[in-house]
């Protein structure tokens, strides 16, 4: 039960993993909302025993920030256009123009996309677990400091001067 609650909290509050380079703030709000909604759908799949993974919207956000940081090779450009097209269509934003729309991927590109989504999921869950550990450690340190502050000094030792 604790695991299910933790997964749900992580679904709603887990970080959005973006490509390093400072473009994370440029994600549109609708994409951030889409990520949360797709995570909820993915979380429901997990309750049915399926292996959880990152979502199309998360892959779209990551590849979007990657494309703003450095040029992509042809395969990753195709993957980005494919997942962006699916995400835009799913969330009724618009359709990609026909001249850049990618409707299918090669087997290798599909495997690369799945690996990316699995990696995004691991990064998100690891970040959440590390944040929980840090929070617990801080709470424990605060409790110790509070106890130490509240505990009366039974003995006060003064330095002896010769």
Q: Does 108 fall in a domain?
A: yes
Q: Does 53 fall in a domain?
A: yes
Q: Are 112 and 75 in contact (CB under 8 A)?
A: yes
pLDDT of the residue at 158: 65
b/e code 112-144 from CB counts within 10 Å (16+ = b) = bbeebbeebbebbeeebeeeeeeeeeeeeeeee
Q: Does 156 fall in a domain?
A: no
Q: Are 19 and 66 in contact (CB under 8 A)?
A: yes
* Per-residue tokens: 29: 């709000």
Q: Into how many domains does the chain fold?
A: 1
Q: Does 145 fall in a domain?
A: yes
Q: Does 17 fall in a domain?
A: yes
Say how far apart CA 118 and CA 101 lie, in whole Å: 24
Q: Does 161 fall in a domain?
A: no
Quote the domain boundaries for residue 20.
2-150
Q: Does 143 fall in a domain?
A: yes
Q: Does 159 fall in a domain?
A: no
pTM (2 decimals)?
0.78
User: What region does 148 belong to: left with phi over 0, alpha with psi -120 to 50, or beta?
Assistant: alpha
Tens of each residue's pLDDT in the chain, 162 residues: 566 676 777 778 789 999 998 898 999 999 999 999 999 988 888 778 888 899 999 999 999 999 999 999 999 999 999 999 999 999 988 888 899 999 999 999 999 999 999 999 999 988 877 877 888 888 888 888 777 777 766 666 566 666
Say how far apart CA 56 and CA 38 lie, in whole Å: 8
């Amino acid at each position: 039960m604790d695991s299910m609650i933790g997964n749900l909290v992580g679904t709603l509050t887990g970080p959005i993993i973006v490509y390093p380079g400072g473009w994370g703030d440029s994600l549109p709000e609708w994409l951030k909302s889409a990520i949360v909604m797709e995570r909820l759908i993915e979380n429901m799949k997990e309750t049915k025993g399926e292996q959880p993974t990152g979502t199309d919207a998360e892959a779209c956000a990551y590849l979007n920030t990657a494309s703003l940081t450095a040029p992509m090779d042809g395969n990753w450009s195709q993957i980005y256009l494919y997942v962006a097209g699916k995400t835009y269509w799913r969330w009724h934003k618009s359709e990609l123009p026909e001249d850049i729309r990618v409707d299918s991927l090669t087997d290798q590109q599909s495997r690369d996309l799945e690996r990316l989504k699995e990696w995004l999921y691991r990064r998100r869950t690891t970040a959440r677990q590390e944040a929980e550990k840090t929070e617990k450690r801080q709470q424990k340190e605060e409790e110790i400091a509070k106890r130490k502050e509240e505990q009366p000094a039974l003995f006060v030792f003064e330095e002896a001067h010769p």
